[in-house]
Amino acid sequence: TQLLEQSPQFLSIQEGENLTVYCNSSSVFSSLQWYRQEPGEGPVLLVTVVTGGEVKKLKRLTFQFGDARKDSSLHITAAQPGDTGLYLCAGVLPSGTYKYIFGTGTRLKVLA
């Protein structure tokens, strides 16, 4: 079974701090997605990265796909309480399978 390991599992920080969440695997993915999930709801897509080395920015969130397409990171600048939630990475296995592998999740709490 392919695994996507996320770190840290839990993170509690003060408003205004910066943080980075990591998503690592020994498998190569054709693309990688980041989702955020609120309690009682399904995950909602934040971004998709498809090219090795790709960097995408979404306001205060910066996403990077590793050069070898085996890992990714999510960096949040000046975190706000509204960023609180469960962050999940999800890799799509190389073409022909259409299987998704989700990471174990990072639960972020931003304190006001």
Partner 1 sequence: EAQVTQNPRYLITVTGKKLTVTCSQNMNHEYMSWYRQDPGLGLRQIYYSMNVEVTDKGDVPEGYKVSRKEKRNFPLILESPSPNQTSLYFCASSFTGARGQPQHFGDGTRLSIL
- Closest to partner 1 by CB, 13 vs 92, is 92
CB atoms within 10 A of CB 72: 27
Residue 112 Cβ, how far from partner 1 at the closest point, in Å? 26
- Closest to partner 1 by CB, 27 vs 77, is 27
- Closest to partner 1 by CB, 41 vs 112, is 41
* Contacts by residues 14-18 (CB-CB < 8 Å, ≥ 24 positions apart): 14/110, 14/111, 15/79, 15/80, 15/81, 15/110, 15/111, 15/112, 16/78, 16/79, 17/78, 17/79, 18/75, 18/76, 18/77, 18/78, 18/79
Residues that bind partner 1 (CB under 8 A): 1-2, 4, 6, 9, 30-31, 33, 40-45, 48, 50, 88, 90, 92, 95, 98-105
Beta bridge partners of 37: 86
Sign of CA dihedral 10, 18, 58, 6: negative
Residue 104 Cβ, how far from partner 1 at the closest point, in Å? 4
Residue 93 Cβ, how far from partner 1 at the closest point, in Å? 9
Residue 81 Cβ, how far from partner 1 at the closest point, in Å? 23
- Closest to partner 1 by CB, 16 vs 94, is 94
